[in-house]
Amino acid sequence: MTLLAPLHGTVSKYCYLPGNRVMIQKKDYRYTIINKDVFSDLYYELDENRCALKMDCIEYIRYYYEKPLCDYPEWFISLIYEGWITSSCFDDEHESIPFLFLDENGEILMSDGSVILRNFMGHVRYMEIEDFKNYYEIIELEEAL
């Protein structure tokens, strides 16, 4: 399952119209009508009447100590191989060891339930869940990004 989060305030309402068109209602109550194919290229359908621009959304994972690495998406695993996420110790019997996230400020011990974000350009960031909820609306989609 893909975890997706649009920035707060960027979600719009939408509905399908006859003739392969979609009407989008912006936050300021302006309406835009576009072709369905263009809509599919630019927007994620969050549910049956809400959408968000793809560029306003990020993909994310919740990090849990007890979750096996094989249950995380490939982009998270590649962060380990690339050295963005590391551990000072390895345990062959258990994969439930805390990791360190490396950023411009140094090493951050990843807490249980924290969030790793990845935007559409591939940039990653570590964030505590409380801060994450202040900036993003949490959505779960079954389709791949």
Q: How far does Cα 12 stand from its chain's mean position? A: 18
Q: Does residue 23 or residue 75 have the better pLDDT?
A: 23
Burial grade of 69 (CB within 10 A; 0-12, 13-18, 19 or more): exposed
Q: What tens digit of pLDDT does each residue of 73-127 get?
A: 888 888 888 888 876 555 555 454 567 777 776 777 788 888 999 888 888 888 9
Band of pLDDT at residue 145, cut at 50, 70 and 90? very low
The neighbour count for residue 46, using CB atoms within 10 Å, is 19
pLDDT at 87: 65
Task: Report DSSP letters for 50-113, one per residue.
Answer: EEEEGGGEEEEEEE-TTS-GGGS-HHHHHHHHTTSEE-S---SS------EEEETTEEEEPPTT
Which letter does DSSP use for residue 136 in this model?
B
pLDDT at 40: 95
β-bridge pairing 114-119 and 124-127: antiparallel
Task: Return phi, psi of residue 7, to 5°.
Answer: -60, 145
